Amino acid sequence: MADSLQERAYAAAASVVDPEIPVLTIADLGILRDVHVRDDEVEAVITPTYSGCPAMPIIAQEIEAALRNAGFRKIRVKTVLTPAWTTAWLGEDAKRKLLDYGIAPPLAEHTCSLAHDPRPVACPHCGSDQTERLSEFGSTPCKSLWRCRSCAEPFEHFKCH
């Protein structure tokens, strides 16, 4: 019985979509770290993509609502900062969803650099590597703004960290 409660609680929390990238769930992003069911209390453990992420209070509220809708009443959402979130927690399915949504996924983990990286990012619209960075920050600090020189479309790139 505990396993089915655990599975139900995890599935409910994992169904919450990221408010900034609605094609990804918090499980896709790796923000949802764990869900524990102890006695009659559920604890969801989350890690922000960066420590100042303004979406975290909304995500916590959405987790609580999803768990309430799944029949849980005693709910706690715990934010942990260590280990720090990394793009390595994004699975291939999440990267494909980003690309399909028009956001260039992060570069392969072994090619990541915390410094300003001069390499071009492939355009998610046409696939060209004839791109240019317009701004180090896009609509959120975890993305940068780019433009494709081939198709002239702007796009965001999910930065590697």
Give the tens place of pLDDT for each residue, 135-160. Answer: 988 888 888 999 999 999 999 998 87
- Expressed as residue numbers, the domain containing 109 is 90-158
Q: Same structural domain for residues 68 and 119?
A: no
Distance CA 56, CA 54 (A): 6
> Which CATH number fits the domain that encloses residue 19?
3.30.300.130
Q: Give yes or no: residues 40 and 10 share one domain.
A: yes
Cα separation, 79 vs 74, in Å, equals 17
CA distance 59 to 80: 14
- 64 and 14 fall within a common domain: yes
pLDDT of the residue at 139 = 85
Report how many domains make up the chain: 2
- The DSSP-derived string for 43-71 is EEEE--SSTT-TTHHHHHHHHHHHHHHTT
Domain final residue, candidates 27, 49, 79: 79
If asked whether residues 70 and 103 sit together in one domain, one would say: no
Q: Are residues 74 and 7 in the same domain?
A: yes
Per-residue pLDDT of 29-41, as tens digits, reads: 999 999 999 988 9
Same domain, 74 and 13: yes
Q: Model confidence over 74-132: pLDDT tens digits?
A: 999 999 999 999 888 998 999 999 999 999 998 765 455 555 566 789 999 999 999 99
